[in-house]
A and B are shown apart, each in its own frame.
Chain A
Amino acid sequence: MVTVIFIAIASLIIASAVLVVISREIVRAALWLIATFFAVGALYLLLEAEFIGVAQVLVYVGAVSILILFAIMLTRQHERHEPAWRAGPWWIALAGVIGLAAVLITTIGAVPWRLTDDDLPVSRAPQLGTALMREYLLPFQLAAIVLLVALIGAVVIAMEERRRRTPTLADDIAAQRGAADRAEDGTP
């Protein structure tokens, strides 16, 4: 039973992640990303790590994805910019992926992993909190610095955008709506 659910969730994760990459429309890609986050949250629940599962949904689906959507709406450039991409033939990539998957599956499948039904030390909120304040204090603190770095980086990139301000999607919609209004009014 668990295996069936796992396979279902895993396929959902992979399929939505692939769709994120191949979607041409960036808003659709963002929506598929939300689906991926959801499915990962479900995987955590399956592992009985409720806290992390809930946190995943709250933080990623509730906050991160919304921010991403906001960012797209506010900063997307009007003109579509196709990056010059030097991609090799797709079948080489496919062969590489299949080969890698074969190696991973055979090797990992051959290992007699020791499994347990006991709770892991970090599965529930109290243990998690204790671990973060004791054994994992240093990585926890360092993660704060990583966030700071990401924040500064985002500011640097976004402020550059602001300086050479180009119409955003929101501007676009407003302009269209304005045009439509004017058309309804019949005034040029």
Chain B
Amino acid sequence: MNQIGFPLVSLAIALPALGALLVWLTPASQTRVARGFAMLSALGALATAVALVARFDASQAGYQLVDSVAWVAAWGLSYTVSVDGISLWLVVLTTLLTPVSLMASWNAGGAHPRLQQALLLLLAGAMTGVFVAQDMLLFYVFFELTLVPTALLIGIWGGDDRRRAAQTFLVYTFAGSVVMLVGIVGLYQAHGVQTGIYTFDLATVLASLQLGAVQLPLETERMLFAAFLIAFAVKLPLWPFHSWLTTAHTAAPSSGVVDIAGMVIKIGAYGLIRFNVQLFPQAAAWAAPAIGVLAVIGVLYGGWIAFGQRDMKRILAFATVSHLGLIVLGIFALNPQGLSGALLQMISSGITTGALFLIVGMLAARRDSRDVQHFGGIWGQAPFLGSIALVMVLASIGLPGLSGFIGEFTIMLGAWISPVLGWTYVSIAVIGVVLAAAYLLRMFRLVFMGPPREAGAPLRDANTLESLMLGVLLVPTLVIGLYPNALLLMMEPSVQQIAQQIGQTLASR
């Protein structure tokens, strides 16, 4: 089923990859040319993503704009990429963050700029690939492809502990994904034996599972579910698999270049929806209470640890752990509210936490420290940075009118009315939200308010480039906060479809 028409989705993957190649081939002396290539390809990918949104038919639930080419026909392996309501906005988020991370890379101006930009672009291409791949093995390939550039970005430009952090990151996530490979092979084999069709095509496998053409025994379904869960739980990371994340963020370069690119560790959450919930609803409902407990622990634990930190990047890293717990809670509410809330929160926290990482990077570059104790009273010296930071902190906390609120509220609502979770989970998770307000506002107060700590060097405000980066991130924060329906409308059919499937499965149980 080779697709006819313009391969728009493939273009969103190919453009950054092509840009990476061009940047790498540019002579070292031609900094401007390299930057031009990098930005051009990143903006091209963003334009492609916008075109995807424009061409997307919001009334349909299934995969749209499919590009499909047989890859290894003998194995039932194909290159199939497409978008649906779930992946569409994640692609937009990725392509939006790429130009920002490139600008951050220019701004930080470290060693080997060409290599850094090329790796950032490769990472962007691979992540887009993860979100649009509709073939299980292709998904795995892109999933693994995201590892290498990330590890190199941490390992080459990171702080003191960079090599160990890069290795920890790589081994941890590789171990997780290997378990996923077991799940993929198992599912492939089960499907092949029962239907006679050996295929990795996600849509085909999903249809067979839903129509009952493939009947998985209860234990098998749970084991496959567990295989995928482990992979994504490590990738997310869900508590207690979080240690690599905080190490990686701490060791990553201070400028925030990698942190913002890595904001799309949302791959794990996406995988949970796409594989665990969609393919194995029965096992998902069975495991939901336990995963909900882990998620709630993550929310509280992340918040609690973040509260005691002095290193701003560590605060944000643990805040991420906390946010991700909330997202997982939304996913395993297994109803439309929870799912769309989780999706919205994935996008929102990607933008707000990413922006905060960038601001921390700018501050760290100015004062050569990330310790909150070394700052104070910066508002007067850098009002622009301060105001953007305030907006992002408030959005992160979930102030109504900004992006975080909608996501958090919908997740809470979903978890409350969920048949598998319930109000107890919500009432405990709420403590985490309160904690978030506490540690983020504490950080903001210590850094921006009060009297200036070091009288000597006044901090300069954001320059044009920095203002531009932050401005780009400010727009979606406001848009999502004020008019979330723009996103929700397009997610709606896909989310509804998944929820409906789960509902049927649970009813038949």
> Are A and B close enough to touch in the complex, i.e. CB under 8 Å?
no
B: which residues have CB within 8 A of A? none
